[in-house]
Amino acid sequence: DAGVIQSPRHEVTEMGQEVTLRCKPISGHNSLFWYRQTMMRGLELLIYFNNNVPIDDSGMPEDRFSAKMPNASFSTLKIQPSEPRDSAVYFCASSPGPSTEAFFGQGTRLTVV
């Protein structure tokens, strides 16, 4: 398996623009997590899905953030409108189940100017 695949790897956008980050989990994994990493706050859980259903989105910072998982092999994290303080590395992770070993993608480095 190729592991968790995220795209794009790098994204530079202007403030106010919509940004969509994509994630393809490992085949057969039923749980998917979105994290954000910054120097100041470390790794923060934004939202996680189990069997394509959002279980906990309490980490989503604002209504500008939304996430979907339309099927077992694809998820998106959207920021609209984007702001400079959203600049961070966004990671997607998947695991076979909600309590099993998690595997991370290579991340998307987002820069909002």
Partner 1 sequence: KQEVTQIPAALSVPEGENLVLNCSFTDSAIYNLQWFRQDPGKGLTSLLLIQSSQREQTSGRLNASLDKSSGRSTLYIAASQPGDSATYLCAARSNDYKLSFGAGTTVTVRA
Contact status, residue 78 vs residue 110, Cβ threshold 8 Å: no
Is 91 a binding residue for partner 1 by CB under 8 A? The answer is yes
Contacts of 41 (CB under 8 A, 6+ apart): none
Options 54, 66, 72, 103; binder of partner 1; rule CB under 8 A: 103
- Residue 19, strand partner residues: 79
Tell me, what amino acid is at 29? H
Interaction mask 28-57, partner 1, x per CB under 8 A? ---x-x--------xx-x--x-x----xx-
8-state DSSP, 41: T
Is 107 a binding residue for partner 1 by CB under 8 A? The answer is yes
Residues at the contact surface with partner 1, assessed by CB under 8 A: 31, 33, 42-43, 45, 48, 50, 55-56, 91, 93, 98-107
